Amino acid sequence: MQVLRALAAVMVAAGHAQFEVAGLAARAGLPFAPAARLPWPAGVDVFFVISGFIIVHAAAPLYGRADARKIFLAHRIARVVPLYWLATTLYLALAFARPGLLGAGSEGPLYLAASYLFWPMARADGAVQPLYSLGWTLNYEMAFYALFALALPWGGGRIAGGERIASPRRTVLGVVALLGGLVLVGRVAGPLPGPLAAPIAFWSDPIVLEFACGALLALARQEGFRLPAPARLVLAVAGLVLLCVAGEAPALPRALAWGGPAALLVAAAALGPAGAVGPRLRPAVVLGDASYALYLAHPFVVRGLRVTAETAGLAAVLGPGPLAASMLVLAAGAAILLHRIVERPLTRAARALLAPASPVNKG
């Protein structure tokens, strides 16, 4: 699963690198043919399905416990919030120092608070995005965590050999029902007036069903469902082919065009036997561990290298393709360092503060 996490993060980073290089090439009069085989933004959809899968397993020690909600939310906050707040604060500082560099608009304090608190709020231009725009995905993540926490105590267990064996079935089915109901309400109710219009429309987008797909795959795995290697290979190839066919401007809704193939990719990774990762895949696993850091940090690296190349006149020397590859390599290296030096210590400190005596699960 970590390999798939790495793929998802690299897809998002590649899309942004390609965008920056394309703009630079156009201004410098250099030929550049974008590599558009895969719809790079679909990496987010892969992330969402993976998130639904992983959360079911990360909560394994908590099903049916009275304090499940408190511990689960403490762990999720410790995992997500510190690095995101750090990235948002850095973005805010750069926006004040060099507004033209980031294209940041002037928003009020309420919008700034909403950005830090994962509350979907429309900007002055109408887009429902936080200050650090990549945070729109985390607004969905936090909403999913809240719904999962609501259903977590519903998960009971069974007694086998005198020991209680936790079962996520009722929790997972409850979360799937909540997500489906949220989408249904959004479709039936239509646009709502007032301050809740933006968050309700945001949270009821069918993209949230991608979390449900991941959770159902986790339930299937926990209940013993496995696929043979040839079937999983077919699923993986089908997922990649369908993503390529959908392209970056799919005719179908995103949850189908990108979310469906993303679910196939995760199913291919999730429904096989557990086994040790070979040395060839070890670098991808290392990058998968740092995928959250890569997701949050790569815009700074990509934009920084683009500005440096443009200022120093390196675009013509390197060429657009090597420049885009350099952006990805540097972003990956920076993410691994950030994960080890900053993210992991921050997560440990936050978890010790919020849930000092709770079961540990990396999630």
As a whole number, mean pLDDT of residues 2-16 equals 95
| Average pLDDT score over the chain | 89
As a whole number, mean pLDDT of residues 297-303 equals 95
Position 362 confidence tier, pLDDT thresholds 50, 70, 90:
low
What percent of the chain has a predicted confidence (pLDDT) above 70? 90
Position 167 confidence tier, pLDDT thresholds 50, 70, 90:
confident
Judged on CB neighbours under 10 Å (0-12, 13-18, 19+), 127 is exposed
As a whole number, mean pLDDT of residues 163-185 equals 86
As a whole number, mean pLDDT of residues 164-190 equals 86
pLDDT number for residue 143: 96
Which residue did the predictor score with more confidence, 357 or 45? 45
What ranges do the domains of the chain cover?
A: 2-354
| DSSP letters for 288-314 | HHTHHHHHHHHHHHHHHHHHHHHHHT-
- Which residue intervals of the chain are DSSP H helices? 2-28, 43-58, 68-97, 99-102, 109-116, 136-151, 169-189, 197-203, 209-222, 229-246, 254-257, 259-270, 282-289, 291-312, 315-318, 320-338, 344-354
Position 44 confidence tier, pLDDT thresholds 50, 70, 90:
very high
Position 103 confidence tier, pLDDT thresholds 50, 70, 90:
low
Which residue did the predictor score with more confidence, 198 or 253? 253
User: Does pLDDT of 361 surpass 60?
Assistant: no
55-69, 84-98, 286-300: which has the minimum mean pLDDT? 55-69
pLDDT number for residue 105: 56
